[in-house]
Each structure stands twice: as C-alpha cells, then as structure tokens.
Amino acid sequence: MTAVSIRKVSKAFNVGKSNQVDALHEVSLDVKPGEFVSLIGPSGCGKSTLLRLVANLLEPTAGEVMVNGKSAVTARLDQDYGMAFQQAGLFDWRTVRKNIELPLELKGWDKGDRQTRAEEMLQLVQLPEFADHYPWQLSGGMQQRIAIARALAAHPPLLLMDEPFGALDEMTREYMQGELLRICAATGTTVVFVTHSIPEAVYLSNRVVVMSPRPGRITKIVDVSLGGERTEETRNRTAFFEAITTVREGLRGMHAAHVGLGNDNR
Amino acid sequence: MTTTVRRAAYRTFMFIVALALVVVIWETYKALGPADGGKLFGARVLPRTSSYAMPHVWDMFSRFNRPEVRGSDRTVFSAVLAGAWFSFRLSAAGFVLGGVLGTGLAVLMARFRWVQRGVLPYLVVSQTIPLIALAPLVVSWGGKLEVGPFVWPRWLSASVLGAFLAFFPIAVGTLRGLAAASASSVELMQSYAASWTKTLFKLRFPTAVPYMVPAFRLGASASVIGVVVAEISTGLKGGIGRLIIEYAREATGDPAKVYTAIFGAAALGLTMAGVVIVVDAFVMRNRPKESIS
Ligand SMILES: Nc1ncnc2c1ncn2[C@@H]1O[C@H](COP(=O)(O)OP(=O)(O)OP(=O)(O)O)[C@@H](O)[C@H]1O
Ligand SMILES: [Mg+2]
C-alpha cells in the first residue's frame, strides 16, 4: 500500500472565468510509507496546491488522491495526517502544552491521555521545560518545533509540511532539519515536504520532486541516496553535492525551456 | 505585569489631570466671562456666569452632604447613590441582554452569509432611530405583553432600551472578531476535521476576544445611556434619570442640585466601564501585549 497516491490530478482555479489558473495538470506521484519526499520548484508551480489536495483542503478538478489507501476525504476525517505551515500558527491563547493537545482534544481523547502524549511530544522536540509558556514567549525556531509536535501529536502516519522552516535563519534551519529527520526516524512517519531550498530538499529527502509552472507539473524526480544515517557530516559528502547539482539542473533545464517558450511567444 | 500597572497608573493620573482641567476652565470662565453671557445675532452662544447658570464646583459637591429636601434626614448623596444603584442594575440587565443578543447575532451572521447580508443593513439602520421616539413605543408594547404569570415590569422597558443601544457595537465587534481567524488556522481546524461549532469555540471565539473587549466596553456605556434616556423619556421612577429631571426642575432655587445627579450618572457610566475593564484585564492576561486593543 502506498502512503500517498496521486493519479493524474489536475487542479484549476476560477474554472470557466477569464482569470482561470491551471495550477496543476495531470500530476501523478506515489509516496511509499516511511518515505521522505520533497517538492521543489519556482514560485507558483503548484507545490502548496498539491499539498492541499493531499490534505483534502482542496478538491481536485480531475484525477484522484488516495491517502493510506483511502480517499483523501476519509483520510482527513480520520485525521491520518498532520500538517505544518511556514508560520507556526500556534494559538496565542493556549499554552504550549495546550497547543500540542489541540488535535487530541478534537479527537475526543480524555485529559490524562492528552497530558501523557503532550509530555511525550515535548520530550521529542526537546522543549519539556516550556510546557506552560505561551507561544509568543518562544523564539521562532521553538514555535516551529512546537508546531511539529502538534502535527505529530496524534501519531499520524503522514506529515504534510509547507515550507515549515522558511522563516528561520540558516543555523536554526539546519538544526531543525536534523531534528525533523531524527523525529521522523523515531516515529516512522511519511513526510511530504515543500521547500524552496535545494540543499534542504536533498538533505532531508529520499526523493526530490522537481516541479514547473504554467501549468504546474512534475518535470523530474531525483532519487537521493546518501548512504547510511544523515548527520551534519552528510552535508560535506560528494554524493550530497552531486544530488544538489542534479536537482539544480532539473530546475535550470526547466528555466531554460521556459525562456525558450517566452521567446517563441514573442 | 509591572508595565500594565504603570500604564494603568498613568491613565488614572491623566484622567485626574483632565478632570482638574475641566474644573479650572469652569471656574476661570465663571470668574472672567461676561456676566450676561455672549450673544451672536441675538442667539446666546456663551452661558451666563451667574451662580444660577454656573454654580461653583465646590457648591455642587457640598450639595451632596445636605438634605435632599428641607427638613428631610436623607442627604442628596444617599438619594443619588440609591438612584445610581437602581439605574446600574437596569443597565447591567440591559448590558447582559444586549451582550447575549449581539453575540448571538454575530455568530449567526458569521455562520450564514445570507443572515449577514440580510440583517446587517437593518442593524445599522436600527441605530439611527432616535431613542426618545422608541422609548414610549417599547413601554406601550411591553405593557401589552403578558405571558402566563409573566407581567412586563416597567423597569424592563428601560433595560430593553439599554440593550437596544448595547447590542449593536457588540454584534459588529464580535462579527469582525469571528471573521479575524487567519485562513491558515481555519485550514488547520479543517485538517483536524473539526466541526463548525468546534471551530467556533476553539478558534473563532478566542481569536475574537481582542475585538470583543472594546466592543463590550462600548456596549456597557451604551446600555447606561439607553437606560438613563429611557428613564427620562418614560418618567420611570427610582433611577438616576428621574433624579436628573426632578433636580433640574429645582434649578432656579437650587442650581447646584442637578449637578449632583449628573455626577451620579457619570459615576454610573464609569463604574460600568470599570467592570468591563477588570474583566478585560482578566481575559487578556495571557495574550501577547502588543495585540490590538
Ligand atoms: N485559492 C486560489 N485561487 C486562485 N488561484 C490560486 C489559488 N491558490 C493558488 N492559486 C494559483 O495557483 C498557482 C499555484 O499556487 P501555489 O500556491 O500552489 O504555488 P506554490 O508552488 O506553492 O508557490 P510558492 O512557492 O510561492 O508558495 C498560482 O498561480 C496561484 O496563483
Ligand atoms: Mg506555496
């Protein structure tokens, strides 16, 4: 069974109107359980749209999205995934602990279980001493870690992340990447991860999906095998740089094609 | 916390300074202004400075201590206090009624766009109806209302008029607050498969609190105005509104007296606002300090 199965999915906004946007055109992608897949591509190529389709926050215009062998709707209703955005999006009026408990509350867990799980999650993101702080008392990186803890609190098999580290500085970002890999390895979570950073995509992923715009589609899928566990040392390996180059070429090729297209039109 | 205290102290200080300034202006004008007032094209634009038109501030305050009517052992102070307390209860009832109504309407408007589109314009129009015109209507409707053992008490008309003024800012402010939840937090709730009601209580209401606080503050003072105006225009006995007309009638013989009732009304408004400010400080205690106010 695949964790995520996207079959010939198209998505258009404002269908039939003069401002119709073909955000995605016949995109197909399979993600295996436990796999870490990144989506990368220029702004407007439909990465967020694809993620929202998987999350069932949008309905596809055509095609089919399956999550854990169920339809996307059923998967959402069963809360089969957790989600994290660029903005941590924690609730200001809840303590860190209560923020992490939110998805559990909505699932109807009782208080004791919620507290135990929140405690576990705080350990996992290594912020147990901040349980009773409010989000606005935390740094951006800490907030993002809490958001990840919240997304994983119900132990969903799938994690959907849209540029979660986009607002962080380089140092924090690399640290968070390490943390995310550690957490996902510990929980066996499948991840679909949207990013603008090539090194980030390569460092984190088993596969990097390169997308191009107008209409949004997948132009290339790069397998990343860096051998063994990924550590800070991985960033210095030749294989790491080679993968970066491959992804960059994928993005460049598309860019060249694009410029060519522009010339034809003129 | 210390900054909150300091800010509160600063505000109190400025309030006292502003009050003192009013007193100084009043007394200065009384001392220096033209005795016969100022006229422009035959219309009086400046008040006369005689003690009938403008009693000394200290006369107004000393009036509190003397009997309400000659020979009575009840001071003006206790009469004003009793009147203010009566009106306070009516205002509180009006405020609660207006709060429930305003919040309820806001929720309905947030839930159903057609309600918002259909109702909001009427709410705006409703606020342009002069209260003076509405007051006798409410009294007469109320008088006809009798459901089983329930008989419409006269005071309820005043509370209803208070509620009528209070519900509007509350409905509008709450609606704005309910709509203020960010798209991504709404999506987050959607991703948890949370129902609309769950989203309302776990996301929309908490987001709305910083909008609701100033709205309720407005609503509180509006309910006081509604009640006092209703008391005056329907002649309801027992409240501060009634005292204002009664004392105003005695203005020629006892010019300072009416001001005691006016001070009572002002104190009533301030008390009402004070209650809301205390609640505000409580519900906002764990919010980021730089959020909207
Ligand atoms: N709700 C919407 N209504 C209309 N058009 C939309 C909507 N959401 C996205 N689009 C359009 O769909 C296209 C893809 O948008 P999307 O947000 O998926 O891009 P993206 O790859 O995530 O870009 P970025 O890297 O800037 O986040 C864009 O052209 C965008 O204008
Ligand atoms: Mg995006």
pLDDT in tens, A57-75: 998 988 899 988 888 888 8
Are the Cβ atoms of A55 and B209 closer than 8 angstroms? no
Same domain (yes/no): B36, B159: no
Same domain (yes/no): B81, B181: yes
Residue B252 placed within a domain: yes
Residue B7 placed within a domain: yes
Residue B292 placed within a domain: no
Half-sphere exposure of A109 (CA within 13 A, CB side): 18
Angle at which helices A140-152 and A111-124 pack, to 10 degrees?
130
Task: Say if strands B38-40 and A4-13 run parallel, antiparallel, or are unpaired.
Answer: unpaired
Residue A50 Cα to ligand 2 midpoint, Å, equals 9
> Using an 8 Å Cβ cutoff, are B242 and B196 in contact?
no
pLDDT score of A195: 92
Q: What is the CATH number of the domain that holds B83?
A: 1.10.3720.10
Chain B (150-169) residues lying within 8 Å, Cβ to Cβ, of chain A: none
Same domain (yes/no): B139, B265: yes
Residue B290 placed within a domain: no
Q: Could you read off the pLDDT of A203-242 as tens digits, one per residue?
A: 899 898 999 888 888 888 888 887 777 777 777 777 778 8
Count CB pairs under 8 A between chains A and B. Answer: 52
pLDDT score of A21: 85
**Helix or strand holding residue B200 (H, E):** none
Give me the domain span that covers residue B34.
1-54
Same domain (yes/no): B196, B278: yes
User: Quick check: A263 pLDDT over 50?
Assistant: no
Pocket test for ligand 1, best of A9, A45, A49 (most atoms within 8 A of CB): A49
| Spatial CA neighbour of A114 closest among A157, A156, A153, A159 | A153
Q: Could you read off the pLDDT of A5-60 as tens digits, one per residue?
A: 888 888 888 888 888 888 888 888 899 998 999 999 888 888 999 999 999 999 89
- Could you tell me the two tokens for B26? 């009043």
Alpha-carbon distance A43 to A216, whole Å? 10
Same domain (yes/no): B80, B34: no
Alpha-carbon distance B108 to B112, whole Å? 6
Distance between B185 CA and the closest CA of chain A, angstroms: 6
Are the Cβ atoms of B188 and A81 closer than 8 angstroms? no
How many C-beta atoms surround the C-beta of residue B141 within 10 A?
Answer: 12
Alpha-carbon distance B29 to B54, whole Å? 10
pLDDT score of A257: 53
Same domain (yes/no): B90, B12: no
pTM given for the model: 0.81
Same domain (yes/no): B85, B163: yes
- Could you tell me the two tokens for B269? 């408004």
Same domain (yes/no): B121, B150: yes
**Helix or strand holding residue A240 (H, E):** helix A238-265
pLDDT score of A254: 58
Interface ipTM? 0.82
Residue B59 placed within a domain: no
> Using an 8 Å Cβ cutoff, are B19 and B223 in contact?
no
CA nearest A136 in B: which residue?
Answer: B288
Question: Is the sign of the CA dihedral A9, A12, A15, A18 positive or negative?
Answer: negative
| Digitized pLDDT (tens) for each residue of chain B, 293 residues in all | 567 778 878 888 998 999 899 989 888 888 887 777 777 777 777 777 777 778 888 888 888 778 877 777 788 888 888 999 999 999 999 999 999 999 999 999 999 988 888 888 888 888 888 888 888 888 778 777 777 788 788 888 889 999 999 999 999 999 999 999 988 899 999 989 889 999 999 999 999 999 998 899 899 989 999 999 888 888 888 888 888 888 888 877 788 888 888 899 888 888 888 888 888 888 888 887 654 44
pLDDT score of B120: 86
Same domain (yes/no): B80, B31: no
pLDDT score of B49: 78
Backbone angles phi, psi at A191, to 5 degrees: -130, 135
- Could you tell me the two tokens for B244? 């204002």
Strands (E), B73-203: 146-147, 150-151
Q: Whose CA is nearest to atom 3 of ligand 1?
A: A13
Top-confidence residue, B166 or A246: B166
Domain count, chain B: 2
Strands (E), A2-73: 4-13, 21-31, 36-40, 62-67, 70-71
How many C-beta atoms surround the C-beta of residue B213 within 10 A?
Answer: 22
Backbone angles phi, psi at A68, to 5 degrees: 55, 35
Same domain (yes/no): B267, B192: yes
Q: In the block, which residue shows the tokens 């003076």?
A: B132
Same domain (yes/no): B31, B112: no
Alpha-carbon distance A76 to A80, whole Å? 6
pLDDT score of B107: 94
Are the Cβ atoms of A106 and B286 closer than 8 angstroms? no
